[in-house]
Amino acid sequence: MAAIKKSAVLYHYPCPDGAFAALAAHLYFSHSPVATTSPVLFFPNTVYSPLRGIGAVVYSVPELDNDQLLKISLRSISDEDTTPISQEYGGGGHWNASSFMINNAEFQRWKVSLNNSI
């Protein structure tokens, strides 16, 4: 089984829910075969303002045997609906939890430079 090569965690403080926090911690600290081989990147909304109260965990799924395909899991709090974002990219879920798959090249175009946002 291949290891996850990179992970990014975008979060809103307070963290959207315990499951999201647990997944982020697992990706960062796990010594399992699917653990990250490089540090997880954490981006709080205090850096990338103005973000909505939606957290995203981005990771590859080793079982797909395609390291160019990433899964993005979204979690939210209160009145933030995650489904329009997931449905836009062919995914789904429910109001406070949804996910979708995206090509790594597309995800790279989404990246925002930390230095440009401060």
Question: Structural domain boundaries of the chain?
Answer: 8-111
**pLDDT at position 58:** 83
Comparing 95 with 31, the larger pLDDT belongs to: 95
Q: 30 vs 8, 19, 23, 91, CA distance in Å?
A: 15, 15, 10, 27
55-36-30 Cα angle (round to 5): 90
Segment 53-69 shows an average pLDDT of 82
- Rounded CA separation 91/93 (Å): 7
pLDDT band at residue 29, thresholds of 50, 70 and 90? Answer: low
**pLDDT at position 10:** 52
38 φ, ψ (degrees, to nearest 5): -140, 160
